[in-house]
Amino acid sequence: MKYKGKAIKYGANVDTDVIIPARYLNTSDKEELALHCMEDLDPDFKKKADAGDIIVAGSNFGCGSSREHAPVAIKASGISCVIAPSFARIFYRNSINTGLAILECAEAAEGIQDGDQIEVDTDTGSILDITSGKEYRAGAFPEFIGEIIGADGLVGYTKSKLQKRGEEE
Amino acid sequence: MTMTQKILARHAGKKECAPGDLIEASLDLLLGNDITTPPAIDIFEANAFGQVFDRDKIALVPDHFAPNKDIKSAQQCSKMRKFAKEQNITHYYEQGQDGMGVEHVILPDNGLVRPGDCIIGADSHTCTYGALGAFSTGVGSTDLACAMAAGSTWFRVPEAICVKLTGKLGKYCSGKDVILFLIGKIGVDGAPYRSLEFMGDGVAELSMADRLTICNMAIECGAKNGIFPVDRITLEYLSSRIPGGYSEAPDWLFPDEDAEYAQTIEIDLSQIRPMVSFPHLPSNTHEIGSFPRIDIDQVVIGSCTNGRIEDMRRAAEVLRGNHVADGLRVIVLPGSQRVYKQALKEGLLEVFVDAGCVVSAPTCGPCLGGYMGVLAQGERCVSTTNRNFVGRMGHKESEVYLAGVEVAAASAVLGYIGSPEDL
């Protein structure tokens, strides 16, 4: 998939409590979650985020809780992709499972400035900073993760797994 | 192979596996709570997954916003209760019933976790059960939904970090200080995607409560799981909890001598002092006595990290005959109905009430800023919980200082952060 939007930059260790505070987890409605996304870290996030925008952050993005509400809230805010040098492992899994595009690229995370126009191609891992003219390349997903994404997420993958098992029996 | 790698290989039906391998592993136990299960139920039902793979291998625990804090959380718990009934889930825990409480306190205590098990839970602190020699890790709601249908899930086999423990903990120190020390040393992303394999002579000096607390916070340095070897202390713990008793761990469940570790960290337990993690990261650790006076507004004692009976005893030891400082609120949350009842029998609840503490029903409430003890702007709390992120326990301009039970209880009496030595 190709996405284009402006970069919204944050530091390292953006945790799931600031992505979506637990006080709002009495619902799993994505539009409602999006209303409060990032509010404890950046009260202007909702105003800033336009459809297609890309979060560019420091290492260990999404550390903390297992709440899948975090990638869901980011995606429902219109964010197309998150670029960081590394992601906390549960957040990584949850993003793949809920269809939020994520790219691991330390150089891009450092080089891209807040507000830069960015174009990413999640299939090739190409990240183009249109503003600065610099191009970066993110690490490719392991093949297996590609299979999950290709199967339309973990649910699709599980359905075909169950179907295969049924046929074998 | 390491212990973790052996468990994963076995559950993938393989003789061996290596770090980086992607495997499909069968699961012995799945966990969900009232925040993470409702979205999993939505996915399960929207995709017509039908029946769960095994009604005996799923534990559903309404503990985060329960007893319900508002209508929305009541709706979530109601959805979970209905699902549990329809699917005839064996280990659904209703509030107030025997065996109910905070998920990571009750699952080991109720005998649902065995050495060598492969476990996932839609809660990041599911890594707690590594204390019993199980592979156990946190996942999200979609993973839970799919695993409830399939009974298996995928894992990337993790590299390992060997944490070699020697010596014996000093006075007023516990497993909490060990894990805070470790996180302070390696940072909140010090063990990314890796397993923490605890070993060394020091293991024998740690109680089961200490080990559960240590594994509970493995996630706070980015680890996939933490795991302890099975020894006499583990078997003693399990023998009275596993139905039918438990006397011997699986004979394959030990790390090979040539197991590979990406890193080895040596910790001399005798050198550890009571630790405090300052806002806003668990890795921002300071030894007690190394910082100037910090006045506080609230103390919370409990949670999946420190809500076991041993924690209640340690807290009562410090609070007995003392009173909470003027202007301070102290909330004590026994981690389960059984812990509550035992604390009642031992007279610990009376100690807490006499000292001026609120004694609450078992719930995760305050730890995540859910309810029961939410902080106002500018307030400071010493808490035995596991996270001190911005806004974790309330207002984004409130502060959480993580500590062990002794420091929390002593701070409650002092009105500022200190240890029992300061009383």
pLDDT band for position A143 (50/70/90)?
A: confident
B224 & B368 share domain: no
Tell if the CB–CB gap between A144 and B154 is shorter than 8 Å.
yes
Q: Which residues in A lie closer than 8 A to residue B386 (C-beta atoms)?
A: none
pLDDT band for position A34 (50/70/90)?
A: very high
Q: Which residues in A lie closer than 8 A to residue B69 (C-beta atoms)?
A: 26
Whether the per-residue pLDDT at A150 is higher than 90: the answer is no
CATH number of the domain enclosing B264? 3.30.499.10
- Residue ending a domain, choose from B247, B269, B291: B269
User: What are residue B119's DSSP bridge partners?
Assistant: B29, B136
Q: Which residues in A lie closer than 8 A to residue B70 (C-beta atoms)?
A: 26
B373 & B416 share domain: yes
Tell if the CB–CB gap between A60 and B149 is shorter than 8 Å.
no
Tell if the CB–CB gap between A68 and B368 is shorter than 8 Å.
no
Whether the per-residue pLDDT at A169 is higher than 80: the answer is no
A62 CA to chain B: closest CA distance, Å? 10
Predicted confidence at residue A84, as pLDDT, reads 98
DSSP A49-95: --TT-EEE--SSBTBS---THHHHHHHHTT--EEEES-B-HHHHHHH
B279 & B253 share domain: no
> Residue B140 is nearest to which of A18, A94, A144, comparing CB atoms?
A94
CATH superfamily assigned to domain A2-138: Aconitase, domain 4 (3.20.19.10)
B189 & B297 share domain: no
Q: Is B99 exposed, middle or buried (0-12, 13-18, 19+ CB in 10 A)?
A: middle
Q: Which of B208, B236, B232 is nearest to B131 (CA)?
A: B208
Q: Which residues in B lie closer than 8 A to residue A154 (C-beta atoms)?
A: 142-143, 146
- Residue ending a domain, choose from B210, B239, B269: B269
- Average the pLDDT over A117-130 and give the result: 95
B14 & B124 share domain: yes
Residue B398 C-beta-side C-alpha neighbours within 13 Å: 22
Strand spans (E) along B167-207 = 195-199
B241 & B132 share domain: yes
Q: Which of A72, A84, A83, A79 is nearest to A51 (CA)?
A: A79
B252 & B306 share domain: no
Q: What is the dihedral of CA B100, B104, B108, B110, to 10 degrees?
A: 10
B292 & B246 share domain: no
Predicted confidence at residue A21, as pLDDT, reads 96
Provide the whole-model pTM: 0.97
Predicted confidence at residue A140, as pLDDT, reads 77
Task: Quote ipTM for the complex.
Answer: 0.95
Whether the per-residue pLDDT at A153 is higher than 90: the answer is no
Tell if the CB–CB gap between A60 and B192 is shorter than 8 Å.
yes
For residues B289 and A99, give the distance between their C-alpha atoms in angstroms, rounded to a whole number: 48
Q: Which domain holds residue B328?
A: 275-422
* Contact yes or no for A58/A11 (Cβ under 8 A): yes
Mutate to test the interface with B, among A19, A26, A93, A95 (most CBs of B within 10 A): A26
B264 & B286 share domain: no
Tell if the CB–CB gap between A67 and B145 is shorter than 8 Å.
no
10-residue mean pLDDT profile of chain B (423 residues): values are: 98 96 96 98 96 98 97 98 98 96 98 98 98 98 98 97 98 97 98 97 98 98 98 98 96 97 98 98 98 98 98 98 98 98 98 98 97 97 98 98 98 98 96
Report, in angstroms and rounded to the nearest whole number, the Rg of chain B calculated over CA atoms.
20
Question: How many domains does chain B contain in total?
Answer: 2
CA dist B136 to A95, A138, B111, B212, Å?
A: 20, 30, 15, 12
Question: What tens digit of pLDDT does each residue of B174-232 get?
Answer: 999 999 999 999 999 999 999 999 999 999 999 999 999 999 999 999 999 999 999 99
Q: Which residues in B lie closer than 8 A to residue A60 (C-beta atoms)?
A: 188-189, 192, 222
Q: At what angle do helices A154-168 and A89-98 cross, to 10 degrees?
A: 80
B295 & B233 share domain: no
- A residues 99-118 closer than 8 Å to B (CB): none
> B143 touching A, CB under 8 A?
yes
Which amino acid is it at B216?
N
* Contact yes or no for A138/A123 (Cβ under 8 A): no
Q: Which residues in A lie closer than 8 A to residue B192 (C-beta atoms)?
A: 60, 86, 88-89
B224 & B312 share domain: no
- Residue ending a domain, choose from B238, B269, B300: B269
- A residues 8-47 closer than 8 Å to B (CB): 13, 15, 17-18, 21-23, 25-28, 39-41
Predicted confidence at residue A151, as pLDDT, reads 81
Q: Which of A85, A100, A88, A104 is nearest to A142 (CA)?
A: A104
For residues B281 and B390, give the distance between their C-alpha atoms in angstroms, rounded to a whole number: 8
> B64 touching A, CB under 8 A?
yes
Output DSSP code: residue B302. Answer: E
- B residues 32-51 closer than 8 Å to A (CB): 35-36, 38-39, 42-43, 47, 49
Tell if the CB–CB gap between B189 and A13 is shorter than 8 Å.
yes
Question: What tens digit of pLDDT does each residue of A64-104 get?
Answer: 999 999 999 999 999 999 999 999 999 999 999 998 999 99
pLDDT, averaged across chain A: 94
B262 & B282 share domain: no
